[in-house]
Structure 1
Amino acid sequence: MKQGLVSTLSYAVLLSFGAANLPLHAAMLPTERAAEQSALTLNDERAEVVDFLQREHVAKALAEQGVSSADAIERVATLSDEEVRELNGKIKNLPAGGDIVGVLFTVFIILLVTDILGLTKVFPFTRSVR
């Protein structure tokens, strides 16, 4: 029984070594093709920034600051490649919906204090000072 297991494992190891020695092919990438791929990703990033600026809540926030959405989109078209990448990175790192945990914690603390002061009775585990 042990001999069968050893021979099976031996064949598996030999097979894996044989598969690792398969020929691989590599080729040089022409500069034009690399530039096209870079331009495509930059165009994608620029399109993501424009899509972000066209959202309703973003357009509303821009209007509150005195900037129209169309003006902002025109300005994105004039940004350098590095500026577009930086702006897109900042947009992707924005919290989705604000700081929800901070808001919930603040509401909890306010309700807790009002419960302790006897102004409300929200939590059953608190005792009023009154």
Structure 2
Amino acid sequence: MTLEDDLTTAAANGRREDVEDLLQAGAQVNGVNCFERTALQVMMMGSWQVAQLLLKHGADPTLADRSTGATPLHDAARTGFLETVRLLVEYMADPQARDKSNCRPVDLARANGHTEVVAYLESL
């Protein structure tokens, strides 16, 4: 396993302290794991603290998943985590980005009944 595999596992499990330790140990914030995904792409979307840490270390919020075309903003909107959505937008995630199904983050939030996320994204 690589440091990036460990970093994505820690991010996926919402373990902020482990993420910080791995970044300090030299894990590349935009490095990919064995599944070709970054820590920001696989992080626990409800853990805005992990998102903030990754973004402060230079994680790219515009990187899309190769198979679906979804960005971290698509995932956060789909799952309804408003604080994570706001943070991603603050760090320049594109709210108009379209995935391979031609959906924008707001479309996914709407389809899943996340009215607060829809209202925020429509206000941009």
Per the shorter chain, which TM-score range?
A: under 0.3
Asked which structure has the greater CA Rg, the reply is 1
For normalisation by structure 2, the TM-score amounts to 0.17
TM-score (norm 1): 0.16
